[in-house]
């Protein structure tokens, strides 16, 4: 149930599908002078991920372990990676470092603030804080500037096992996923606030060409348009007209119109 795919030059998507919850977890390895793993993954997935990474490089040479926000699928196995790679350091936003990571991690994080750039050698990653998008005060994303690959965490979430990468629009899947999440125990997965649209517009402005999504296919195409489409979908599904985020007993979103 593990699929490894090169989604951009020397950027590998290592995806583990968990059929019991119909969800795929993607982790991104950047093979560069200072290798970066984005998403440390769940502790339970660590042995599988370690074996996959070791097919691509010497795992002890990983230098950066990055993630968007403090949650187990983002950084549960952080310390296992740090134990394996003596020079590796967590990398996350300042809020994440100060609120959670520096307490949890066996080594202190490299804490990034807006527009800080992490260089891995040939590639440069700009940190963009995205508080509460997709969720978590500490949330942020990394944007690789030469090939315009955005590591966007839970944004563009798709349920199920998907093709590793696609150039077809994923927005319908994302709408379905949000509706499905709202109708079940994962309701309120993504908050909708007066900041949400602005944060998504900032991300659209970087005009990413590859969206490295944690749950679902990587998307190749017009990332600016994809973010504006996502903003529309989130407003429709989660915004003020969506009955304050409530769902009906039938599992559908009520709006003011119906």
Instruction: By CB under 5 A, name the binding residues for Fe ion.
Output: 71, 73, 154, 214
Q: How many CA atoms lie within 13 A of 31 on its CB side?
A: 17
Q: Which is nearer to Fe ion, 32 or 95 (CB)?
A: 95
Minimum CB separation of residue 214 from Fe ion in Å reads 5
Give the residue with the Cβ less far from Fe ion, 124 or 161: 161
Name which of 159 and 206 has its Cβ closer to Fe ion.
159
Min dist. Cβ of residue 21 to Fe ion (A): 12
- Provide the minimum distance between the beta carbon of 215 and Fe ion in the complex, in angstroms, as a whole number: 6
In the complex, least distance from residue 102 CB atom to Fe ion, rounded to whole angstroms: 20
Q: Which is nearer to Fe ion, 27 or 31 (CB)?
A: 27
């Amino acid at each position: 149930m593990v699929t490894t795919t090169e989604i951009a030059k020397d950027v590998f998507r290592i995806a583990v599908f968990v059929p019991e919850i119909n969800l795929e977890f993607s982790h991104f390895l950047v093979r560069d002078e200072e290798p970066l793993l984005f998403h440390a993954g769940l502790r339970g997935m660590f042995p599988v991920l370690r074996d996959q990474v070791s097919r691509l490089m010497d795992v002890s040479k990983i230098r950066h372990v990055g993630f968007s926000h403090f949650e187990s699928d983002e950084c549960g196995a952080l310390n296992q990676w740090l134990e394996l790679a003596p020079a590796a350091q967590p990398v996350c936003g300042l809020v994440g470092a100060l609120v959670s990571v520096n307490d949890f991690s066996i080594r202190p994080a490299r804490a990034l603030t807006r527009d800080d750039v992490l260089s891995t050698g040939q590639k440069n990653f700009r940190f963009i804080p995205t508080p509460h998008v997709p969720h978590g005060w500490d949330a942020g994303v990394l944007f690789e500037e030469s090939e315009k690959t955005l590591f966007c965490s839970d944004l563009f979430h798709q349920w199920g096992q998907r093709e590793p990468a696609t150039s077809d629009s994923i927005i319908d899947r994302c709408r379905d996923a949000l509706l499905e999440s709202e109708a079940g125990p994962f309701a309120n997965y993504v908050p909708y606030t007066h900041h949400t649209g602005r944060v998504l517009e900032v991300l659209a402005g970087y005009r990413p060409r590859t969206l490295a999504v944690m749950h679902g296919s990587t998307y190749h195409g017009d990332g600016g348009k994809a973010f504006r489409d996502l903003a529309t979908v989130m407003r429709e599904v989660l915004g003020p007209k969506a009955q304050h985020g409530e769902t009906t007993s039938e599992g559908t979103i009520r709006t003011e119109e119906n």
